[in-house]
Each structure stands twice: as structure tokens, then as C-alpha cells.
Amino acid sequence: MKALVVIFERLVPISGGGTPRTFHIVRSLARRGHEVYVAASFGVDGEQARRELGAAGLLPLPSVSRMDPRKMRKYALIYPLNILRTALYAWRLKPDLILSHNSVAAAAGLLAKALRPRLVTVLDLTDLLFEYLGDYRGAWLRGAAAVGRWLERLSVRRSDRVITISRAMADILTGEYQARPRRVDIVHDGVDTQVFRRQPADDLRAAYAPDADHVLIFHGVIDPQDGPELLIEAAPAILARHPRTVFWMVGDGTAVPGLKAKAAEAGLLDRFYFSGWVRQAEVARYISASDLGLVILPDVLSARGRVTLKEFEYWACGVPAILPRLPALQEVVGDEAASLFYTPGDAADLAAKVNELLADEDRRRAMGRVGQQRVAQQFEWQTLTDQIARLCEESVRARD
């Protein structure tokens, strides 16, 4: 099988978001003997990217930094060009299958299929991209949101197969987005335990939390749509019970300047450490130096079906997580043996759950061990992306 994998993000080195999943999909397809081409952005030279991915060829695409304050305007310019370039590349390449990460990249597959009807299109959908535009200012975004939502629904309805991350997201797609249920499959997100594992990190604790009894970590892209200010709202109640607690915000994003201002206004800046962007391997060390991992998401449509990578990365490093009580997270995480749930948007409930675990070190350690076991049994990338590769093979066989 000749396959083209498409993602409109920087794929090598892995940049977060959907790139870990897509990176391992490419490697699974190549490992299973398929001829794999990749359209994506790359931060290394082509030969290194091909070697790391096991790909037969690459189409380098421009990308937009998720930390860029003007990213929405740049997306509006760059994504249509990427759709056209990728569709033309597919027309010349003549693959059997295009697998696209998320709905915008899937538009390239649909355009290519219009030129070559026997092409099989697979949409790997982990997020609803256009449910967030209301969080950005600018009247022009109303038009962009309308076009984007139309494109997202078209991609979901017209793709030959949709693979998504949770039953909750599948229900959204087959309900509001009108996908055909028999075309929708579920493969959860996961983690690479060669990268995310318990590591020595006393130097990080000594450098960035020298007086702390406890460290809480929130990591990844720090964007306004996820409501990260909830942690600042919860901090006073946590510090009242555990005054020697430090909050690590590891990563970067457009919400960071506002968060720093809110922390300063609340007199909490000395309790918050903002690392800026760090390499993926270094994130694992920050997690290993922490006592609790946090996931913050609001109760909105996309978040109800979404499963972030954070909880798996916390678990892989032996750190329990505190998560919002949302359908997809409850479905995938299951019971509270390795994580506790709080009411989304409720700072008091978040603080109560944090205080509950900070008061019991033995319980935290036990939860961390359960999380590591679950990752090993259910959430290793190689096992999960081999499932995706088999679904792709099945789709091409069904065409023939």
C-alpha cells in the first residue's frame, strides 16, 4: 500500500498537539511494510526527518507556531495553500490512501479524491478545531468560523473512514456532525514510554521550587480556550492548606502573559514558575519532579469529546493526575484509582481535590503506580497506532 499522511503541524521534532499520534502512525505504517509519504512541517533537514519517520518521501509544508499571537490570521493564509499543495502532491503521487490529522488537513484529501475517485480518505480526528474561535477577538473570525465549521462537517461526512479518540467524540461526530456510524472507529491517544518515564530530576526541584513541600504541574500549550486561569483562582485555597506549594506552568502559549498578570495581581507570582517552551524529553523530567499533574479544560462541546495527552504522560512518569469531569476523560480514565475528577470550571472543587491528595503521600504514590501499569497495558503508542494502521489496510482492501 502506498500511503500519504498529512498534518499541518511541525512533525519532526515532535511539537505536541497531534504530532505524537501522527508520528507514530507513520512509523507503524512503515514498520508494516507500506510505502509512506508525509506532508507536514519539519524542523530538521529532510534526510533526518525521513530517517526518523521511516518515510519514503516528504512534502515540506509551512506551519504556524501555536504560540504566535497572530496565529489565527496566519492560519487563514497558510492553510488554503497547504490544502492545494497537498492535493496536487497526492495527484502526482497517486497513493492508495490519504490519512489526515484533523479536519483542515482532511480537506486536502477530499480535494485529491475529487481528482482521483479511487483514493481512500481516512480522517484521524482528535479535536474539533472550529469550536474555539469564539475565544478570539475580531469580527472577521465570525466568517472564518462559519467556513471552518462547514469544512469540518464536510470532512467528517465525506471521509471514507473517521478514526477518533473516544466514544464521547464518536457520539458527537455521528450526532451533531452527521457522520455515518459504520464509518467511525475509536482508537485512544497514548504515550511513548521511552520518552515519558520516571527520571531523576532533583536538580529541577532545587532550581525552581527550592522551598517547596509540594509541586503541581500543568504542561503543554497554554492557550486561553482551555481556561488555565482556573489554577490561579484555585491557588489561594490550596496555599491556605499547603502554604509551601509551588505551581509549575511548563510550556508556552498565548495565555501566558495574562496568567502572569493575574498571578501578580493576586500576589502569587512567587508561587508560580513559568518555564517557557521546553523539549519533550525535558517535560518528562519536570513531571518526574512534581507531586501532582493537572489537566484544565472547560465544559464545552470539543472538550467533552477530547482526551489530552497530559494524563498519560503524568501516569507514565508515576505521577497521579487531577482531571475535569468530562465525558471522554471519564470514559478513558475510568475509575479514580490513578486520577481524581473535579467539576470543570469550579476552582473550589479543583482546590479540594488537590488538597485531598497533597495530604496523603502514600495514596499519591499508589496512584502513580496504578497509572504506570495502565499506560503499559493500554496506552502505548506503538500498540495503538498499529491498530490505526490495520484500519487503514482494511479500508484499502474494502475498496479493492
- Residue range 94-138, pLDDT digits in tens: 999 999 999 889 999 999 999 899 999 999 999 887 765 554 455
For residue 77, what pLDDT is reported?
A: 74
136 with 72: CB under 8 angstroms?
yes
Is the fold of 2-190+380-399 the same as that of 202-378? Answer: yes
Cell 478513558, residue located? 332
Query: 62: helix, coil or strand?
Result: coil
Mean pLDDT estimate for the chain: 91
User: Which CATH number is associated with domain 2-190+380-399?
Assistant: 3.40.50.2000
Predicted local distance difference test score (pLDDT) of residue 69: 61
The DSSP element (H or E) to which 273 belongs, if any, is strand 272-276
Mean pLDDT confidence for 124-153 = 72
Whole-model pTM?
0.92
**In the prediction, which pLDDT does 280 show?**
85
> Which residue has cell 455515518?
180
Kindly indicate the confidence band of residue 373, based on its pLDDT and cuts at 50, 70 and 90: very high
Computed on alpha carbons and rounded to an integer, the radius of gyration of the chain in Å comes to 21
Q: What is the domain partition of the chain in residue ranges?
A: 2-190+380-399, 202-378
* 61 confidence band (pLDDT: 50, 70, 90): very high
CATH of 202-378, one of 3.40.50.2000, 1.10.3720.10, 3.40.640.10, 1.10.10.60: 3.40.50.2000
223 falls in which pLDDT band (50, 70, 90)?
confident
Report yes or no: 42 and 63 within 8 Å, Cβ to Cβ: no
Tens digits of residue pLDDT in 250-271: 999 889 999 999 999 999 999 9
